[in-house]
Amino acid sequence: MSEELRVSPIETRGVAGKRRFAMVVDTRRCIGCMACQVACKAEYDTPLGVNRTWVPYKVVGKYPTVKKQFLPRLCNHCDDAPCVRNCPVEATFKVEDGGFILQRYERCIGCRSCMAACPYNARFMLPSHRTYTPITNVVDKCTFCFHRVTQNLVPACVQTCIGRARVFGDINDPKSEVSYLVATNSTQVLRPEEGTKPHVFYIGADRNATEFGRDAYRQPEVMELERSAFKRNFKI
Amino acid sequence: MGDYVWFHDVSWHASYAVYFFVIGILAGLSFMSYGSWITPALRPLREKAAYGSIALLALGGVLLIADLSQPLRFLNILNPGYLNFSSPLAWGALNIVAFGICSVLYIMALKKGDEAKGKLLALVTALLALGLPVYTGFDLTVHQSRPVWNSPIMPVLFVAMAIASGSAVGSLLAMGNEEAQKVLRQYMLWSAGAVAVMLVSVMGTTNYGGSASELTFMIMTTGTMGLLFIGVGFLAGSVAPAVLLFAPMGKSQGVLMVSALLILVGGAALRYVLLMAPQQLQTLF
């Protein structure tokens, strides 16, 4: 990213001497095995009904040439994150070295302002009952596996991806694989019009899955039926 | 068909809309109480409006704190070490606390009969009350990805709705007092008219926006949301009272009461739809 595109002083992409971690998701390689989702669940004991990463799909094309188009989703660790701006108690913050957007659980008051601010639905409220982890009733999100990356490991979803659809690294380092992939492929980010400068880049993402289509409009009554069916066993 | 859609919950639920409604009425009542120092016709409302305002503040405070998933941590928002001034919620919390303190001092001055101090505190309380609908509007405006919310008109719309709701409650409180009703009729008429004009503007800009805006417009104008927004909020709660109050019969006590009730019901419906509908679209993204 050129210096001219940098708007806010919080942005660290392309700043010399600072790391800026990013993920490239090559949707051409994703087979929809959901192993990333499972690995993430196992890493964090994420409760039922909520996810730090999830893999929705759409069936695109016309019979007989149809295919499932997967779009792995997670927090975009935006360079200019609206959730950081909106948290009234600075429970959400950006790590300058690396660009991780993290959450201080002990400080979060659960006002859900960050959830409303996030254009990607990457944040969720942890339920009041969890089996092994005492962190409840606060907002949670993907951390880009901060605890693993600081130990020179890649995030759990990247580690487990059998198709190598997910690649992780420092985009400020021109020799990293993510820099190479972003430089040599046509990439998309989700909802670029919001100006959040997301740091999850997609290769080959289908516009049917990345943009709002007419399909997103449902009568609330109809949607409620589907939602209650989807969450029939999920109570916060 | 056959798509795997992940459903997300809306961030803010209906209890927040109730809070918006309560805070709008209490701000409006605070304006009425201050108005009584300038307009003698509103004098009978001075104490009633001040007491009503502080009672609703207590209710609104409880609603706001109960809506947090960590209610006991509400003090974090008043901790200077934690406060993030780029969040309108932080400003709002400070505003609510300052308003509460000034309201108590104002009521104490009213009880003592201290006119000079009372008038000054009424002014300060009314100014802080103005901050309440402004901050609730900003609370929505700052969310750049939400159509309807992310519009500079929201704080102004919330102020107009606060004046409309406050004068409607004032009109119900001042029942039988012709002098006060004459003034309150003007307040209700022009604020309800202003709300109607702003809603037309909101609908226009939403319908002519990008695809997210267009879809939000469709959600807001059809089905249950459409009934609440267009039917109850816009037509019954803004246009009808403005027309009724503007008509020659608008000065009669019965029409005033009906208009006041319509404004209150419409105000509640509008706040609900303005809060919930722009969140609906993103639950499927």
pLDDT in tens, A92-144: 999 999 999 999 999 999 999 999 999 999 999 998 888 888 899 999 999 99
Question: Is A235 part of a structural domain of the chain?
Answer: no
Q: Return contacts of A42-48, CB within 8 angstroms, 24+ apart.
A: A42/A156, A43/A145, A43/A156, A44/A133, A45/A130, A45/A131, A45/A132, A45/A133, A46/A140, A47/A126, A47/A127, A47/A129, A47/A130, A47/A131, A48/A233, A48/A234
Question: Is A47 part of a structural domain of the chain?
Answer: yes
Delineate the domains of chain B, giving CATH numbers in brackets: 14-284 (1.20.1630.10)
User: Hey, which bits of B36-186 come out as E strands?
Assistant: none
Q: Answer whether A217 touches B (CB < 8 Å).
A: yes
| Nearest alpha-carbon partner for B158 in B22, B13, B15 | B22
Query: Of the given ranges (A9-13, A203-207, A212-216), which has the lowest mean pLDDT?
Result: A212-216
Q: Which residues contact B224 (CB under 8 A, 6 or more apart)?
A: A220, A221
Coil, helix or strand at residue A232: coil
Say if the Cβ atoms of B76 and A57 lie within 8 Å. no
pLDDT for B284: 78
Average pLDDT score, chain B: 94
Coil, helix or strand at residue A2: coil
Q: Please give, rounded to a whole number of angstroms, the shortest distance from the CA of B191 to a CA of chain A.
A: 29
Dist. CA B251–CA B184, nearest whole Å: 10
In chain A, what residues touch B4 (CB-CB under 8 Å)?
Answer: 56-57
Identity of the residue in B67, B87, B282 whose CB atom sits nearest the CB atom of A86: B87
pLDDT for A61: 85
Q: Answer whether A129 touches B (CB < 8 Å).
A: no
Which of A51, A80, A140, A212 best probes binding to B when mutated, by most B CB atoms within 10 angstroms?
A212
Amino acid identity, residue A41? Answer: K
- List the CATH number of the domain containing A61: 3.30.70.20
pLDDT for A148: 97
CB within 8 Å of chain B, chain A residues 57-116: 57-59, 73, 82, 85-90, 107-113, 115-116
Which of B15, B19, B70 best probes binding to A when mutated, by most A CB atoms within 10 angstroms?
B70
Residue A137 gets the label, from left (phi > 0), alpha (psi -120 to 50) or beta, of: left
Structure tokens at B73: 């941590």
Say if the Cβ atoms of A137 and B69 lie within 8 Å. yes
pLDDT for A230: 66
Identity of the residue in B7, B84, B145 whose CB atom sits nearest the CB atom of A191: B145
In chain B, what residues touch A221 (CB-CB under 8 Å)?
Answer: 223-224
Domain span holding position A178: 3-230
- pLDDT by residue (tens digit) across B144-188? 999 999 999 999 999 999 999 999 999 999 988 999 999 999 999
Say if the Cβ atoms of A217 and B219 lie within 8 Å. yes
pLDDT for B122: 97
Q: Is the pLDDT of residue A80 over 80?
A: yes
Question: Is A34 part of a structural domain of the chain?
Answer: yes
Amino acid identity, residue B199? Answer: L
pLDDT for A115: 96
- pLDDT by residue (tens digit) across B24-60? 999 999 999 999 999 999 999 999 999 999 999 999 9
Q: How many domains does chain A have?
A: 1
Q: Is the pLDDT of residue B1 over 50?
A: no
- The answer to whether A206 touches A71, Cβ cutoff 8 Å, is yes
- pLDDT by residue (tens digit) across B65-104? 999 999 999 999 999 999 999 999 999 999 999 999 999 9
Query: Of the given ranges (A38-42, A221-225, A231-235), which has the lowest mean pLDDT?
Result: A231-235
Question: Is A159 part of a structural domain of the chain?
Answer: yes
- The answer to whether A107 touches A90, Cβ cutoff 8 Å, is yes
In chain A, which ranges are continuous DSSP H helix? 35-44, 82-86, 113-117, 146-149, 156-160, 177-184, 207-210, 220-230
β-bridge partners, A124: A140
- pLDDT by residue (tens digit) across A168-185? 999 999 999 999 999 999
- Core vs surface per residue B189-203: b (16+ CB within 10 A) or e: bbbbbbbbebbeebb
Dist. CA B36–CA A172, nearest whole Å: 63
With 0-12 / 13-18 / 19 or more C-beta atoms within 10 angstroms meaning exposed / middle / buried, residue B49 is buried
Dist. CA B110–CA A123, nearest whole Å: 48
Q: Is the pLDDT of residue A15 over 90?
A: no
Question: Is A216 part of a structural domain of the chain?
Answer: yes
Q: Please give, rounded to a whole number of angstroms, the shortest distance from the CA of A123 to a CA of chain B.
A: 9
- pLDDT by residue (tens digit) across A210-223? 888 776 666 556 66
- pLDDT by residue (tens digit) across B206-259? 999 888 999 999 999 988 899 999 999 999 999 999 999 999 998 899 999 999
Q: ipTM more than 0.90?
A: yes
